[in-house]
Amino acid sequence: MIALQILFWAALGLTVYTYALYPLLLVVLCRLQQPRRVASPQMTAPCDPDREWPMVSLIIAAYREEAVILQRLNNALLCDYPADRLEILIGCDGNEDATGELVASCPDPRVRLLQFEQRRGKPSVLNDCVAQARGEILVFSDANTFFEPDAIRQLVRHFDDPGTGGVCGKLLLIDPETGGNVDGLYWRYENFLKEREGQLGALLGVNGAIYAMRRSLFQPIPSETIVDDFLIGMRIHLQQARLIYDATAVATEESAPDIDAEFHRRARIGAGGFQSLAWLWPLLSPARGNVALAFWSHKVLRWFCPMLLVVALLSNLLLLDRPLYQVMLAAQLLLYVAALLGKSIGGTSLPARLSRLPAMFVSMNAALLVGFVRWLSGRQRAAWKRTDRSDEATVKKPVETA
All structural domains of the chain with their residue ranges: 1-34+290-383, 52-255
Using one digit for the tens of pLDDT, what is the confidence trace for 307-365?
999 999 999 999 999 999 999 999 999 999 988 887 777 666 666 667 778 888 999 99
Average pLDDT, the chain: 87
What share of the chain has pLDDT > 90, as a percent? 73
Read off the pLDDT of each residue in 207-234 and give the average, rounded to a whole number.
Answer: 96
| Distance of alpha carbon 158 from alpha carbon 206, whole angstroms | 15
Q: Which of 225, 230, 229, 223 is nearest to 275 (CA)?
A: 225
What's the Rg (C-alpha) of the chain? Answer: 22
Read off the pLDDT of each residue in 3-15 and give the average, rounded to a whole number.
Answer: 96
| Cβ pair 249, 194 in contact under 8 A | no
The DSSP letter of residue 222 is P
Query: CB-based contacts of 357: which residues, under 8 Å, 6+ apart?
Result: 185, 342
Domain 52-255 superfamily per CATH: Spore Coat Polysaccharide Biosynthesis Protein SpsA; Chain A (3.90.550.10)
Report residue 396: phi and psi, to 5°: -100, 10
Local structure of 1: helix, strand or coil:
coil
The length of the chain in residues reads 402
Using one digit for the tens of pLDDT, what is the confidence trace for 64-74?
999 999 999 99
* C-alpha to C-alpha distances, 402 to 73, 82, 88, 115, 314, nearest whole angstrom: 11, 10, 14, 25, 61
Local structure of 166: helix, strand or coil:
strand
Q: How many CB atoms lie within 10 A of CB 153?
A: 22
pLDDT higher than 60, residue 401: no
Q: How many CB atoms lie within 10 A of CB 96?
A: 14
Using one digit for the tens of pLDDT, what is the confidence trace for 168-214?
999 998 876 655 544 567 778 888 999 999 999 999 999 999 999 99
What integer pLDDT is reported at residue 342 of this predicted model?
78
How far is it between the farthest Cα atoms of the chain? 75
| Higher-scoring residue by pLDDT: 32, 309 | 309
What integer pLDDT is reported at residue 224 of this predicted model?
94
| Distance of alpha carbon 230 from alpha carbon 352, whole angstroms | 34
| Distance of alpha carbon 272 from alpha carbon 230, whole angstroms | 9
Q: Which of 277, 256, 253 is nearest to 265 (CA)?
A: 256
| Distance of alpha carbon 200 from alpha carbon 268, whole angstroms | 28
